[in-house]
Structure 1
Amino acid sequence: MELTPVYWILLLFISRVAAGQSPGSLIVRPNRHQFFEYESVSLSCEVQGNTTGWRVVKNPAHGNLTQCGDVWGKLEGINCNIASTKSVDSGVYWCQSESGEHSNTVNITVTDAPVILEIPILPVTEGHSVTLSCRHQETPSDLTADFYKDGSFIRTESTGEMTIPAVNKSDEGWYLCQHSKGNSPNSWMNVTVATPSTPTSLPPSVSPPPSLPP
């Protein structure tokens, strides 16, 4: 049976809770879920203590689990650089040690669509400000965009950016933006409370809301 990305997320989360806090963290630069094709992205394993044996691994939407340097990415120490992203680079990523320890998981979407939503890939802490940006590949003069959460309209912004000045748990969910040039994919924004003992919440094991019609 082929394991889906959601299955892997749940499996890794259960293992993480059972084993306690992971010594490793996966950092994505730039800090966002969505990328146009041919953009660059850096995936870094930040590890407490000995970094030997840690690698960035990926479970794609279709295919087998692979690690950086096998058929994708350039391995530099415990860091992985993808110089020119393609749609096949979409998937769930995390850091994993030779002994089986693993970091948080992140879901990256690479699209050939003309519009993406710049939304943080790492959890946003309650009370902090966050800005979501609707970005067109060609930077048109009209930046007006509509923002949606869980399929419901939030508001229109003439600047193409929507700021939430102090996020709370109710702001967690699936977001997308709609521009005159097209719609972005859906991405999940994760919101956590400001206590280190609280586990990271995960996207629901159901499909995201359907994309809006162009």
Structure 2
Amino acid sequence: MEVTPLYWILLLFISRVAAGQSPGSLIVRPNRSQFFEYESVTLSCEVLGGSKGRRLERNPTSGKRTRCGDGWGRVDGTNCIISSTKSTDSGEYVCGSGELNNAVNIVVTDGHVILESPALPVTEGFNVTLKCRNKTNPSDLTTDFYKDGSLIRTESTGVMTIPAVSQSDEGLYSCRHPELGRSPESWMTVTAATSSNPTSSTSSPPPSSSPSLLILISVSGLAAVSVFLIILLVLFCYR
């Protein structure tokens, strides 16, 4: 059978589909958007189906976008580890597939107060817990919580739970400790629910943890292989 340019184009396209070539999703562990200096954070890229290995890139608040290991972070297998964060590590992190829709903003502060809020998007209907954490005093104290600059609640334990979040809960959150001051602001993203009865959680599950998603990817892979075989058969018959 003569191998035509069309054959190679189709082969390249189908192999990319079968391999799950899709925008990477950034996973942050621990799943929070704010860190004190000298804490550790692990980041990794996952594509549909749970495969890893996409490069991780950072677009700092000042400077150019660079890869993990290029002056910051340490590559450990499929992970990027920042073992001792600094304020210069603040910025936008994204899987290096060219798309910024899965970018995550991380704030590293040398202050005394941070807001522990999910770095990853949370799903409508889930319960989300926000915690005002201070570096010098581990005890829980009365804390003010803010959304988009306005006071929304005061909690005596330093913890606020938002039950069954909705799109209206999306916004910039911060907290204020009565003795140590206010935390930086972080954006909380709320995505549409994929089920009519989502399970309550403090944060949304990683993209690779959904059984229905894995089934969908498996079906997509089988479909791609089937199309590939049909095209081979057509080209053979045409020859």
TM-score range for the pair, normalised by the shorter chain length: 0.7 to 0.9
Pairwise CA distance, 1:165: 1.2
Partner of 2:17: none
| Number of positions where the alignment pairs a residue of Structure 1 with one of Structure 2 | 173
**1:44-55 residue pairs with structure 2 within 5 A?**
44-48=44-48, 51=52, 54-55=54-55
Which structure's residues are more often strand, by fraction? 1
CA distance in 2, matches of 1:32, 1:39: 12
CA distance in 2, matches of 1:107, 1:174: 12
Question: CA deviation digits over 1:77-101, x for unaligned, max 9?
Answer: 331000000001000001114xx46
Moved over 4 A (4+): 49-52, 100-103
Question: CA deviation digits over 1:112-162, x for unaligned, max 9?
Answer: 010000000111111110000000012343521000111111111010000
**Larger RCO of the pair (alpha carbons < 8 Å, separation 6+):** 2
Partner of 1:107: 105
What amino acid is the match of 1:171?
D
Partner of 2:192: 193
Pairwise CA distance, 1:25: 1.1
Which structure's residues are more often helix, by fraction? 2
Question: CA deviation digits over 1:3-38, x for unaligned, max 9?
Answer: xxxxxxxxxxxxxxxxxx934211000101100000
CA distance in 2, matches of 1:71, 1:193: 37
CA distance in 2, matches of 1:72, 1:91: 12
Q: Contact 1:55–1:95 at 8 Å: present in 2 too?
A: yes
Identical amino acids, percent of aligned pairs: 68
Partner of 1:22: 22
What amino acid is the match of 1:96?
G
What amino acid is the match of 1:41?
V
- Structure with greater Cα Rg: 2
Q: Contact 2:44–2:52 at 8 Å: present in 1 too?
A: no
Match of 2:28, SS?
strand
Q: Contact 2:22–2:48 at 8 Å: present in 1 too?
A: no
CA distance in 2, matches of 1:101, 1:189: 20
- CA root-mean-square deviation: 2.0
CA distance in 1, matches of 2:48, 2:127: 28
Partner of 1:174: 172
Partner of 2:117: 119
Unaligned runs of 5+ in 1: 1-20, 197-214
